Amino acid sequence: MMKMKMRSVAAVLVFVWTLGGTGIARADDPLAKFSRGVCNILTCYAEVQNQAKKVKDEQGSFAGMTYGLVKGLVMTGMRALVGIFEVATCPFPWPPEYKPILTDPVNFLETEKIAEEARRKKEEREKKEAEAAQEKQTVEEQIKTSEKQTAAPAP
């Protein structure tokens, strides 16, 4: 009896593994919707770590430990519910054309892409902050120069 259960679990895992490839995860058909739902159900627990890291990369360590944790817990439930919904409704084209409800990547093969995007966003934010600081410094210098010119006595 135990061997039968183990074989069944192994068969289901192999089936899910073969369906959960990167290419099929974005296809627009019932099988893709089913596999996307199964993937969401099986990987929902990883949202806590993913969201905490994403928030930490974007907003800093403290935000990652607080807001990222809460966001991860919420997204864990959300991803699990969406997965159950997609599995239950896979024969029906809702949303239209079997489009995914959650648009962020669910496949862990895409984590490098996510990390690269987070690094790019962080660099853009730091560049904007540096430009703003430079502009502030320029404005302060212009104010000092104009104050010196107005304070100097006319000959």
Q: What are phi and psi of 99, to 5 degrees?
A: -65, 150
Tell which residue, 107, 74, 101, has the closest CA to residue 86: 101
Residue 147 in any domain: the answer is no
Tell which residue, 78, 67, 122, has the closest CA to residue 103: 78
Q: What is the pLDDT of residue 22?
A: 41
Residue 86 in any domain: the answer is yes
Q: What is the pLDDT of residue 6?
A: 67
Residue 99 in any domain: the answer is yes
Q: What is the pLDDT of residue 77?
A: 95
Instruction: Show the tokens assigned to 58.
Output: 């974007």
d(CA 16, CA 51): 24
Residue 124 in any domain: the answer is no
Tell which residue, 24, 55, 59, has the closest CA to residue 38: 24
d(CA 4, CA 109): 31
The domain in which residue 99 lies consists of: 2-107
The per-residue b/e assignment along 85-99, b for 16 or more CB within 10 angstroms, e otherwise, is ebbebbeeeeeeebe
Q: What is the pLDDT of residue 80?
A: 94
Q: What is the pLDDT of residue 103?
A: 76
Residue 134 in any domain: the answer is no
Q: What is the pLDDT of residue 147?
A: 81
Residue 6 in any domain: the answer is yes
Residue 63 in any domain: the answer is yes
Q: How many domains does the chain have?
A: 1
Mean pLDDT split into 10-residue runs, the chain, 155 residues: 69 56 57 89 91 91 93 94 94 86 64 70 91 93 85 62
Q: What is the pLDDT of residue 132?
A: 93
Residue 121 in any domain: the answer is no
> Is 36:98 a contact under the CB 8 Å cutoff?
no
